[in-house]
Structure formats: C-alpha cells, structure tokens
Chains A and B, each alone.
Chain A
Amino acid sequence: MILLVSHVSTYRYDAPVRGAVQSLRMTPSVCDGQRAIRWQVEVPGGTRGAAFRDGAGDWIESWSLRGPASEITVKVTGEVATTDMAGVLRGQREAVAPEVYLRETAPTRADSGLMALAHEAAGGASDALDRAHRLSAAISEAIAYRPGATDAQGTAAEALALGEGVCQDHAHAVIACARHLEMPARYVSGYLHAGEEGGPNEASHAWAEIWIERLGWVGFDPANATCPDARYIRLGSGFDARDAAPIRGVAHGRVAEALDVTVAVEAVQQ
C-alpha cells in the first residue's frame, strides 16, 4: 500500500511565548514492511537541532523556536510504502532489552480489575502468542471505543472501570495486563489509514507491542481488534503514551495553550 500522510498540529497561546523547544518522534520507523518514499517534518519559523536514532530505534529530532510567538505549528507530510507483516516488527535495530518494558508506569498500572481480566483471558492459552492475542481480544471486548470518553491523563484501570475509551486506553490496558503476566509490552504511536469511515483525527493512532520469545515484538491493536497491517505506519514506542508521544514540547511563558490537530492518511494505491 502507498499511504499519504498529512499531519498538522498547531499550538495557540493566549499570549506570546518567549520561545519553545520541541522533541519530535514523528518519522516512520526503519523496519520491514514500511519504507518512507518521502517524509518531511517542519516547524515553520523554527530551527532544527539535535537529530538521532535512539536505543529503541526511533528517529528523534529537536526543534527550537525563538519568540515572541503566539502559535507554533508542527507540519508532517510524507508518503510511505507499506506491506502487511501480520503485526510482527522485523528489521528494526534496537538496543533496549525487552525486560526493560516490564516496568510499571502510572497509566499502565494493573489494578485488581485488570489483573483479573488478564488471568481470565490468558487461562488456557496454548503459548505466549496465543496469550497475547487473547489479552488483546479481551480488552477490545471490555473497553468500547468511544471518542471523548476519557482524557489524555486517564489510566488503563479507569478506562476498564468505565468500559469505554479511545485507542490510548486500549493500548494502556493491554500493556498493563501483559506486564502483569510478565510479558514485556510497550506503547506504539503511529498512523492508521482507517478508510472512508474513519474520522479526521483517528488517523493518529496508537497500539501496543508485546514481546514474544523467538518472534520478537508483535503489534496488537485492541481498538480495532486486529494486528497492525499495511494500513499502519509505525513512528515510535515507549513505556506509555507520554513516553512514546510524537510531540513533546516546552513553551517559555505563563500562557494557556490550545492544540488544534488535523491528520489525514490516504491510500493512493492498494
């Protein structure tokens, strides 16, 4: 598949800021199954700074912008050729030991509800891969997709208690359950070509990867009850949504911030 991506994030401030620094993880991973034909990240008015590939294999680049500025825009455009790898991450160079991803973070803490769900779902599984599939299916089942049900600071436990959430909550919940069962798991941020029915902001997507011995990292997208395929573009990973965030930034000044995002992922060729 050839996917066209256009992703514009605009931060608007109620008073001009003195400057801003951003650390962006917005470039497609270098791995089998996806290849950037062209890709561009820009912050109009800003200066590109440090750029490097980190130990998890993600391409990170910094931008700084001298103020005064009352808005900052991050523009991503590109074209990526993808193939279906059945969710298996191959060909990515990484230096992080999978066991590191057993660490619990606040949004991925397993409460009694998540623990019970994990044990129930995994019972009777034939092997680790089967267990991971069952976990993902159980989360799809337990948390209904409803935009606006939760906010960005929500935890997996809260989403499960509520019974609804967005892709971030689904990913956190699968991660919490997997880690509880001593399976390394991590949060992945990226893009999804959702087809005609997808809304404008659902193209910015998140899912989970679970480490399966002898197979490596395998993606699971409980929000869509599937494993990532040719419709997905992988950007980067982390312990949780905050750690894997495509944009991290600090603006200098005591201001209120409003974020406006438009994302479109179109298929130009099947």
Chain B
Amino acid sequence: MNRMEMIKPENLVYTKPRLMNDNPMHYCPGCSHGVIHKLVAEVIDEMGLEEQTIGIAPVGCAVFAYNYIDIDWQEAAHGRAPALATAVKRLNPDKMVFTYQGDGDLAAIGTAETIHACNRGENIVIIFVNNAIYGMTGGQMAPTTLLNMKTATCPFGRNEQLNGYPLKIADLLAQLDGTCLVTRQTVHSAPAIKKAKRMLRRAFENSMAKKGTSVVEFVSTCVSGWKMTPEQANEWMMENMCEKYPLGELKDI
C-alpha cells in the first residue's frame, strides 16, 4: 500500500477541530496557546455549544484568539474580560461564556475583575494561560514570573526585594466561595493534553449547570520570552514552573 492509498476517511485518526479555521496562527512555534485553542474548540464542538458560546479574548498574546475559533467573540480591554463575561452571562443565563486570559491580564491589571467575578460565583469559565511572562509586549516580568527568572524588566532575575514574589493566583481563587473548580494543567505531552481536556470539559459543564466559576490554569511555555527551544521550554517548565505551580485540582466540588 502506498501513501496515497492510505488517505481515506476510515483511516483517519486525527483531524483539526471543526471549529478551528484556516487562519495562520500568529503564535510562535512551540507555544502552548495553539494546543489550548484546539482543546477549547474541541470541547465546544463536542458539547454541541457552538451556537450558544461567547468567548471573551484578552489583551496579550491571545488578543487575536477570535481569529482562530469560529464562534462569537468579544475583545476586552486589558484585564477586564471577567467583567465582560459577567454581564454577558447575566444577560444571557443560558449561553456558554468563557474568558481566555494570560498571566498579566488576569493576575496583574485584571486582578480585581478576576477575584470579584470568582467571588460572585459567576457561571463562567476562566481559562488562564500562565507562562510567567508578558509575551506580546516582548518578554517583560509578569506577576507569575519565578524568582531569579530573567525577563526584559528584571534582566538580572526576579528579585523579591525589588519585584516581590510570584503570585499564586489560582490558590487564591480556590479560597473563594464562588469558585467550584480550580485546576492546574499543562499541555506539554499527550497524556497531559488528554487530562487537560477532561478538566476543561468539566469546567464547561459546571458553567452550563450554573455551579459557579470554574478556573482552568494552564501552566505554559513561552519559547520566545524564555529564549529556549520548544523542547527545552517544556523541560524547564516541568522542572521549575510546576514546582512553584503544582499541577492538579486545587478545588473541585
């Protein structure tokens, strides 16, 4: 059998999610965003929520998330996505509403919006991509940047005296009565992706069941900001990021 003979529907083992379009992605090769986008598109499609989902895009690398997944989107001001999502869900209680935010957006400029949306128990999903750096603006320090980690605005490494400590915001959100699920995942390997997708789907189910706010943190890589190859970045992430930000469920009720 030659290669062309193998290409037929019954042999298909993997395909691009139906809701992902063909727009070329602006993400760097090796970036976690592409895989996370794919999971979001798959979960929406598999749950049959395409026609009732509204996504809220952040400011940061995922600012153009709306270019890749074919659903209705709103692009928020920096950090304000949970405020938008609050109104969208309250005004349309039967819709599926999620935000997609990076660490600067969610844990620095948008800390108040994040905490209060979670504390009100808004029936939304917050997807939190934590790569410990501001990717879009060129690799500056994020609230989640690890101690001693070098960035454009802490070129000698994050120093607690000068820059304070890395913010474990998901741990904080897990303390709030309004959250029903707070989980930390990665997408660095096939088993991790499978597990992450399961938790993402649970978050979406919680939202539709009006159980409160679900937060899915993805501990992620930034190959450009970290100045590493994708493989090095994954290894560095598992060794360093996951030590500070341990994987698993911080809350699941």
A binds B: no
Q: Which residues of chain A have a CB within 8 Å of any CB of chain B?
A: none
Q: Which residues of chain B have a CB within 8 Å of any CB of chain A?
A: none
